[in-house]
Amino acid sequence: MRIALAQLTSGVDPARNAATLVDAVAAAAAGGAAMLFTPEMSGLVDQDRARASLVLRSEGEDEVLAAVRAAAARHGIWVHL
């Protein structure tokens, strides 16, 4: 099994983080990986708890998770997020 490791610089914008992760999924799949591993906190990194609380969502409503799931399905790859 070929795996891929993503090195990311996540930040306070979940939509931007999701786009970066979706690109990483595509790149990993294009490189022949069956699974992509991402760093912890890939969806949101924010030291300001009040600001972070405004964008935190449950699993079913999380836009980052939804985008990564869709990309993984589209490219036929597993993702450890």
User: CB pairs under 8 A, 24+ apart, for 43-52?
Assistant: 43/10, 43/14, 43/17, 43/18, 43/81, 44/10, 44/12, 44/14, 44/17, 45/10, 45/11, 45/12, 46/11, 46/12, 48/12, 51/12, 52/12
Question: What pLDDT score was predicted for residue 24?
Answer: 98
Reported as a single tens digit per residue, the pLDDT across 53-75 is 999 999 999 999 999 999 999 99
pTM: 0.92
pLDDT 10s digit of each residue in the chain, 81 long? 999 999 999 999 999 999 999 999 999 999 999 999 999 999 999 999 999 999 999 999 999 999 999 999 999 999 999
